[in-house]
Chain A
Amino acid sequence: MKEYVLDEPLNEAFLEFLDQFGTVRHLEQLKKPYFSFEKEHFISIKGFTGECNVEVRYNKEFKDLVADYFHLLLFYEREGQPGVSRLRGIEAAIREKMKTRQDSAGGSRI
Chain B
Amino acid sequence: MMQAPEENRSPIIYLNNAATTWPKPPEVLEEVARCLRTPFFEHGRSTAGGATDYPAAAREALAVFFHAEEPGHFIFTQSATDSLNLLIHGFAKNQKTPFHAITTELEHNSILRPLHALEEEGRLTLSTLPFDDDGRVTLQQIKNALRPDTRIVVMTHGSNVLGSLQNIRPIAEYCASNNIFLIVDGAQTSGQIPINLSELPAGAFVFTGHKALFGLPGTGGFYLTDPEAIAAVRQGGTGTDSRTLAHPQDMPQKFEAGTPNYPGIASLLAGIRSIEREGQDAITSKCRSLTSRFIGKLSTDPDITLYTPLPDLPVVSFNIGGLDNDEAGFILAKAYNIITRTGLHCAPLVHNRIDGGKGCVRVSFSWFNTREQIETAAAAIREVAESAGSQVHSD
Contacts and interface: CB of A to CB of B under 8 A. Distances in A.
Contacts of B1: 3, 53
Interface in B1-53: 1
Interface in A50-67: 53, 55
A81 to B, nearest CB: 28
A88 interface: no
A27 interface: yes
Nearest to B334: A48
A34 B331 contact: yes
A19 B49 CA distance: 69
A22 to B, nearest CB: 15
A46 interface: yes
B285 interface: no
Contacts, number: 35
Contact of B335 (A25, A32, A55): A32
A31 B386 contact: no
Interface string A19-44: 00000010111111010100000000
Contacts of B240: none
Given A36-B327, A55-B330, A29 B387 contact: yes
Contacts of A34: 327, 330-331, 335
Interface string B182-196: 000000000000000
B94 interface: no
B336 interface: yes
Contacts of B383: 30-31
Contacts of A27: 331, 384, 387-388, 391
A25 B395 CA distance: 11
Given A3-B1, A46-B330, A29 B386 contact: yes
B128 to A, nearest CB: 28
A30 B334 contact: no
Nearest to B324: A36
B contact patch SS: helix
A30 B384 contact: yes
A36 B331 CA distance: 11
Contacts of A55: 330
B336 A31 contact: yes
Contacts of B334: 32, 48, 53
Nearest to B386: A29
Contacts of B388: 27
Contacts of A53: 1, 334
A46 B201 CA distance: 50
B327 A48 contact: no
B387 A30 contact: yes
Contacts of B384: 27, 30
Nearest to A36: B327
Contacts of A29: 386-387, 390
B94 to A, nearest CB: 40
Contacts of B336: 31
A4 to B, nearest CB: 12
A10 to B, nearest CB: 13
Nearest to A32: B335
Nearest to A3: B1
B379 to A, nearest CB: 10
B329 to A, nearest CB: 10
Contacts of A48: 334-335
Nearest to B391: A27
A3 B330 CA distance: 12
Nearest to B10: A31
A30 B335 contact: yes
Interface-centre pick from A3, A25, A34, A53 (highest chain B CB count, 10 A): A34
A55 B387 CA distance: 21
Interface-centre pick from B331, B388, B391 (highest chain A CB count, 10 A): B331
A48 B330 CA distance: 10
Contacts of B387: 27-30
B331 A30 contact: yes
15 contacts: A3-B1, A27-B388, A27-B391, A29-B386, A29-B390, A30-B335, A30-B387, A31-B335, A31-B336, A31-B380, A34-B330, A34-B331, A36-B327, A53-B1, A55-B330
Given A34-B327, A34-B331, A48-B335, 5 more contacts: A3-B1, A27-B387, A30-B387, A34-B335, A46-B330
- Listed from nearest, the 7 A-B pairs whose CB atoms lie closest are A32-B335, A29-B387, A27-B387, A30-B387, A34-B331, A31-B335, A46-B330
